[in-house]
Amino acid sequence: MSESLPSAMPGLNHLPGHAIRRLHQISVGIFHQEVEKLNLTPLQYGALVTVRDQPGVDQRTLARLIALDTSTTAGVVDRLEARGLLERQLSPQDRRVRRLFITSRGIDLLVQAEPAVARAQALILAPLTPAQQRTFMRLLQRLVEENNAFSRAPSEGAG
């Protein structure tokens, strides 16, 4: 005979961590749906935008800015470089450091991607009214900022 144990925890679908994980899955799915013909992932998009906005950033700093571990960032940069979207240059100050620069192909890809990325962001927030969207984003940003230290790869904030 099986007995049901009482639980003080709410059901799985009422846990914020589970809901955030599901929303992340949905967000990535929408991003891929909108951007799929450009062969670009959300992580690659974030890296390209950050390097575009901070030319000459080194790979370790890029990892901190986009909140990724250094090995994941290395793989993202390798793939972008192989596609001719980023290039690495030796730092004149420290030859062990490779500085990152977006190429003209990378800029062109971002220009092509921007409308699709904007559509993806709009689709993610579409179930909410404009006022709810602003509130949600404000609260989401607060949760990220206040809990940043708990991340395995805390962000230094790309802005």
Q: Mean of the pLDDT values across residues 36-53?
A: 96
How far is CA 153 from each of CA 71, 102, 105, 110, 157, rounded to the nearest angstrom?
A: 11, 23, 29, 25, 12
pLDDT of amino acid 13: 84
- Sheet with 86-90, strands from edge to edge, namely 57-58, 98-102, 86-90
* Fold of the CATH domain 16-150: Arc Repressor Mutant, subunit A (1.10.10)
Can you name the residues that pair with 87 across neighbouring β-strands? 101
User: Facing residues of 149 across strands?
Assistant: none
Residue type at 152 in one-letter notation:
R
Q: What is the DSSP string of 39-76?
A: ---HHHHHHHHHHHHSTTEEHHHHHHHTT--HHHHHHH
The full length of the chain comes to 159
* Phi/psi of residue 32, nearest 5 degrees: -65, -40
| Partners of residue 99 on adjacent β-strands | 58, 89
pLDDT at residue number 159: 45
Region 147-157 average pLDDT: 82
Q: Record the pTM.
A: 0.85
Residue 154 — very low, low, confident or very high, per pLDDT cuts 50/70/90? Answer: confident
Which range has the worst mean pLDDT, 1-5, 100-104, 117-121, 144-148?
A: 1-5
d(CA 120, CA 46): 14
Domain ranges for the chain:
16-150
Residue 4: pLDDT band (50, 70, 90) is: low
Q: Tokens for 18, please give them.
A: 């589970």
Does position 158 have pLDDT exceeding 50, yes or no? no
Separation of first and last alpha carbons in the chain: 57
- Kindly state the average pLDDT of the residues 92-107: 90
Q: Residue for token digits 């390798």?
A: 78
Q: What 3-state class would DSSP assign to 58?
A: strand
